[in-house]
């Protein structure tokens, strides 16, 4: 089944919201639905749509999967508390780290995150809450790239012939499936979400696991997390679609205080893009790059090399995994 997309410039957000509110409440009826909030614009928009449509019949969880950025779980839960939405924080860190242990292949890593999320953690939350439905913020770009076999996005099932009811024991409702990122931002703004949310930089479902080449261990995740803090601070004022720090698998010879250090490599990517389908590297100034590199090699232990990606998407993709 092909999905009929709605281009952002043809979108009437108010009308779209009214239609989705009706559809969500008609689908869920008197049952319970659950959803996972990551704080990104897609899951935030779905959370607001769900709460406006079915109120307390929707239970919203933030899944701490050990792959989030510094302090992200607590920040998102308190932001939504201010918006009047109660979000339960689920500590699933050990489960995800166990599932990722020993895996280096990119698609196997994505599959491990997907299965832990949908089968294990959500399977359990569905059983405990008695929910019949999972609301989630899959968008058209996720479907396109998965169906094209480019990257298995963590949240795409039906289009791959997977029946979530059979595979996981619940049905999935996807109110944003006709939109791309630019359309979701318009809807999120119309839903009354703050600018920090509707203009929030995208962050992938597999989170920092998509930014570690090779095994995503606790230590390697901590390293890329530290580099991410610095990258996001230094590039905060740059007008870009998305920026990120990536930890490479290969180490390289460096030197510190006169001694050889066989150290880690961090790659910075910063993308200009409208809808993530194509992208080109932002023309960052040398001053910005230099400051970024100096901070990373000084503040992140063990890093001796920092590079900036200058290839476009395609043939690159935005994330490395």
* Cβ 76 vs Cβ 62: under 8 Å: yes
284 or 321: CB nearest ligand XMP:
321
> Closest Cα partner for 185 from 4, 11, 2?
11
Shortest Å distance, C-beta 315 to ligand XMP: 11
36 binds ligand XMP (CB under 6 A): no
Of 51, 59, 109, 151, the one binding ligand XMP by CB under 6 A: 151
232 binds ligand XMP (CB under 6 A): no
CA 170 to chain CA mean position, Å: 22
C-alpha 315/C-alpha 135 separation (Å) is 33
Lookup: tokens for 185: 């931002």
Q: Considering the rule CB under 6 A, would residue 313 count as an interface residue with ligand XMP?
A: yes
Q: Which stretch binds ligand XMP (CB under 6 A): 1-9, 67-75, 199-207, 222-230?
A: 199-207
Helices (H), the chain: 13-28, 41-54, 72-82, 93-100, 106-115, 122-129, 140-147, 164-168, 181-190, 195-198, 218-234, 286-299
Token pair of 236 as six digits: 């905060």
Binding residues for ligand XMP, rule CB under 6 A, total 17
Length of the chain as a residue count: 321
Instruction: Please tell me whether residue 206 binds ligand XMP under the rule CB under 6 A.
Output: yes
Q: Is 260 helix (H, G, I), strand (E, B) or coil?
A: strand
145, 158, 272, 275: which one binds ligand XMP (CB under 6 A): 145
The residue among 95 and 174 lying less far from ligand XMP, judged by its C-beta, is 174
| Chosen residue from 95, 142, 174, 267 binding ligand XMP by CB under 6 A | 142
String marking each residue 236-275 x if it binds ligand XMP according to CB under 6 A: ------x---------------------------------
Q: Which two tokens stand for residue 318?
A: 């935005």
Q: Does 183 bind ligand XMP (CB under 6 A)?
A: no
Residue of 204, 220, 245, 303 interacting with ligand XMP (CB under 6 A): 204
Tell me which DSSP letter residue 207 carries: G
Closer to ligand XMP by Cβ: residue 242 or 264: 242
């Amino acid at each position: 089944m092909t999905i009929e997309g709605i281009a952002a410039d043809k979108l009437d957000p108010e009308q779209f919201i009214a239609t989705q509110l009706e559809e969500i409440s008609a689908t869920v009826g008197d049952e319970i639905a659950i959803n996972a909030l990551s704080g990104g614009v897609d899951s935030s928009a779905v959370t607001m749509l769900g709460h406006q449509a079915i109120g307390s019949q929707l239970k919203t969880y933030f899944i701490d999967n050990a792959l989030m950025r510094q302090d992200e779980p607590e920040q998102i839960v308190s932001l939504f508390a201010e918006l009047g939405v109660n979000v339960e924080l689920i500590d699933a860190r050990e489960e995800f780290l166990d599932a990722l242990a020993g895996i280096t292949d990119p698609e196997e890593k994505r599959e491990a995150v997907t299965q832990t999320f949908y089968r294990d953690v959500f399977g359990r939350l569905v059983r405990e809450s008695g929910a019949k439905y999972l609301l989630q913020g899959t968008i058209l770009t996720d479907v396109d790239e998965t169906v094209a076999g480019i990257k298995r996005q963590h949240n795409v099932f039906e289009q791959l012939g997977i029946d979530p009811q059979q595979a996981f024991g619940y049905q999935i409702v996807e109110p944003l499936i006709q939109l791309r990122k630019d359309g979701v931002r318009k809807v999120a703004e119309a839903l009354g979400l703050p600018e920090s949310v509707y203009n929030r930089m995208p962050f992938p479902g597999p989170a920092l696991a998509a930014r570690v080449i090779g095994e995503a261990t606790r230590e390697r995740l901590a390293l890329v997390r530290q580099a991410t803090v610095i990258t996001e601070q230094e590039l905060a004022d740059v007008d870009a679609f998305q920026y990120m720090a990536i930890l490479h698998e290969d180490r390289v010879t460096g030197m510190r205080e006169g001694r050889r250090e066989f150290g880690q490599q961090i790659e910075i990517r910063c993308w200009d893009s409208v809808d993530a389908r194509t992208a080109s590297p932002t023309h960052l100034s040398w001053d910005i790059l230099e400051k970024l590199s100096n901070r990373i090699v000084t503040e992140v232990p063990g890093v001796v090399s920092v590079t900036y990606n200058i290839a476009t998407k395609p043939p690159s993709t935005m994330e490395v995994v």
